[in-house]
Amino acid sequence: MFHRVTDASKVALWALTELCFADGAADRLIDVQWQTAHLASLGIREISRADYLTRLSRALVLPLPATLATTAG
C-alpha cells in the first residue's frame, strides 16, 4: 500500500470494510492474502484453503453492496 499520511492504510481498510458489509451480508469477504502483524492488529484472521474456497463460492454469488454498485458504473 502506498500512502503519504501515517495510518492512511488503516483508514482505507476500515472504509472498505464499512462499504462491503454495510448491507449486513455475513458471507462477504475481503481477501488480504497474507496475515501480517499489522493486519492482525486490524482484526484479520487466517483461514484454511478449504474454508476460503467455501466462503469464496458463497461470496461470489452476492450482488455488490448498494454503496459499491452505484460507483462501479
pLDDT in tens, 23-37: 888 899 999 888 888
All residues at 6 or more sequence positions from 69 whose CB lies less than 8 Å from its CB, including other chains: 63
Question: Residue 7: which of 53, 42, 45, 55 has the closest Cα?
Answer: 42
CA distance linking residue 56 with residue 36, whole number of Å: 21
- The per-residue pLDDT for 5 is 83
Mean pLDDT value of segment 52-69? 88
37 compared with 2, residue with greater pLDDT: 37
| pLDDT surpasses 90 at 60 | yes
Q: Using alpha carbons, select from 32, 54, 58, 52 the residue that is nearest to residue 43.
A: 32
Q: How many angstroms separate the Cα of 2 from the Cα of each of 8, 34, 51?
A: 9, 17, 30
